[in-house]
Amino acid sequence: MKRSMEPLFGRFINLVEWWAVFLLVLMVVVVSLGVFFRYVLNAALVWYDEFASYLLVWLTFYGAVVASYRRRHIGFELVVDRLLPNNRKIVEFVSESCVLGFQVVLFYYGWLLTRKMGDETAVSLAWVKMGWVYSVLPITGGLMLLISLVRLARIVSGRENNQGGGEAWSGSSSE
């Protein structure tokens, strides 16, 4: 990615992060409404759990885009950082190639699923098209595919500098 595009893409990722925050808030509101109606008004909402499930899926995938860009997925830095520079570059290339392969699968089959389920409707929400729900797969798959392609190009050119984030998450709950 050209240097002039990096700040613009970083701002776009910030928008994706705010979208994920909005989805989280919306999910909390929907679940709270469901609990309120069920236990206070004694009149259960038939749609809230299905809608909350869709919001959770969307939140997960859009959050994964942000985590991918910022290199916050779980990694093995303890092992990789001890490798010689050439070996580290090979391991990073193989690793990112595997990630890229998964992103291709997610994008392609997500696209097929979205097209196939396009006119189907949700069980309890007749106005919600399943194509809208499944659209998260090719959208986030495409974004993560782009992130992986840029990262691979940087690894090959020797310019990989963990742009976009920092080190991968160690898995510690204290971070």
pLDDT band at 91 (very low <50, low <70, confident <90, very high): confident
Whole-number Å distance between alpha carbons of 134 and 54: 9
Residue 107 is predicted with a pLDDT of 96
Instruction: Collect all residues with Cβ–Cβ distance below 8 Å to 135 and sequence separation of at least 6.
Output: 114
Please give the Cα distance from 162 to 16 (Å, whole number). 19
Block residue for tokens 């998450």: 169
Per-residue pLDDT, 72: 84
CA nearest 72: which of 173, 165, 175? 165
Predicted structure pTM score: 0.83
Tell me the average pLDDT across 146-153.
91
- Spatial neighbors of 161 by CB under 8 A, at least 6 apart, are 154
User: Where does the pLDDT of residue 163 fall: very low under 50, low under 70, confident under 90, or very high at 90 and above?
Assistant: very low
Q: Which residues contact 152 (CB under 8 A, 6 or more apart)?
A: 93, 96, 97, 100
How many residues make up the chain in this entry? Answer: 175
